[in-house]
Amino acid sequence: MPDGLEIHESDALLITDVQNDFCPGGGLAVPDGHEVVPIINRLATSFRTVILTQDWHPLGHLSFASSHSSKMPFDTITLEHGEQILWPDHCVQDTPGAELYSGLKVPHAQLILRKGYHRDIDSYSAFLENDQITPTGLAGYLRERGLTRVLLAGLALDFCVRYSAEDACRCGFKAIVIEDACRAIDTDDGSLGAARQSFAELAIMSIKSTELNLIA
Ligand code: VGL
Ligand code: ZN
């Protein structure tokens, strides 16, 4: 498609949390999470800069329901910076569940950014932890390398992809979500609808991978 979206040298593909625990059989399986893998593998070859993120929690992480007495997964607690959803244990550092999904083939990825490693704070976004103050360093990495636009793929669309896209915007980058290269958790309280609404409000473009002019 000649009138598709051109990929530039100043673009980064940010592949979010494509890890065993977010795929079928994992601790926090995203419905059909593994389906993004062939799409991402194909997309990634067209990008000079590919960054992977890895959710990387210590045992007993505050975001785990199991760390709180009488709480169940998907219950919430209130923290200083807002509401925290409590998740099933997932992506515990150095466990098989935290490993990148084995079908993911992006050998040219240059950075694997781990997040969520502070026990008392979650980090959905690849830019800022959930207090919205603590930086991960990704904005500086992108700026220092002259990268201006971030295209997002991975898991989960309504959590880590959403918050990374929002923060990319807030940090001064253009953010584009590649929807078919993402899958959502879609919690009962409407997390997927909320993500779409937020993308619209922040003018975050949401596209299909077929709209990109890929290299062959
Ligand atoms: C994620 C919930 C908890 C994600 C990570 O990758 O979207 N969601 N930890
Ligand atoms: Zn997590």
Q: Is residue 64 part of a domain?
A: no
Domain span holding position 185: 11-59+91-211
Atom 8 of ligand 1: nearest residue by CA position: 159
The rounded distance, in Å, linking the Cα atoms of 40 and 43 is 5
Q: What is the pLDDT of residue 196?
A: 98
In a domain, 127, yes or no: yes
Residues (pLDDT < 50) of the chain are none
Res 115: pLDDT = 98
- For residue 159, is it within any domain? yes
> Quick check: is 128 in a domain?
yes
Q: Which of 19, 21, 28, 83 to mutate to test the pocket of ligand 1 (most atoms within 8 A of CB)?
A: 28
What length does the chain have? 216
Instruction: Please provide residue 195's backbone torsions phi and psi, each rounded to the nearest 5 degrees.
Output: -65, -45
Position 2 scores a pLDDT of 61
Q: Look at residue 54 in the predicted model and tell me its pLDDT.
A: 98
Q: How far apart are CA 127 and CA 107, in angstroms?
A: 23
Residue 86 included in any domain: no
Domain containing residue 198: CATH number? 3.40.50.850
**What domain count does the chain have?**
1
DSSP string, 155-182: E-IIIIIHHHHHHHHHTT-EEEEEEEEE
CA–centroid distance, 3 to ligand 2, in Å, is: 38
207 inside domain = yes
Query: Could you say which of 17, 21, 55, 89 is catalytic?
Result: 17
The angle formed by the CA atoms of residues 35, 41 and 45, to the nearest 5 degrees, is 155
CB atoms within 10 A of CB 162: 26
Asked whether residue 68 is domain-assigned, the answer is no
Whether 197 is covered by a domain: the verdict is: yes
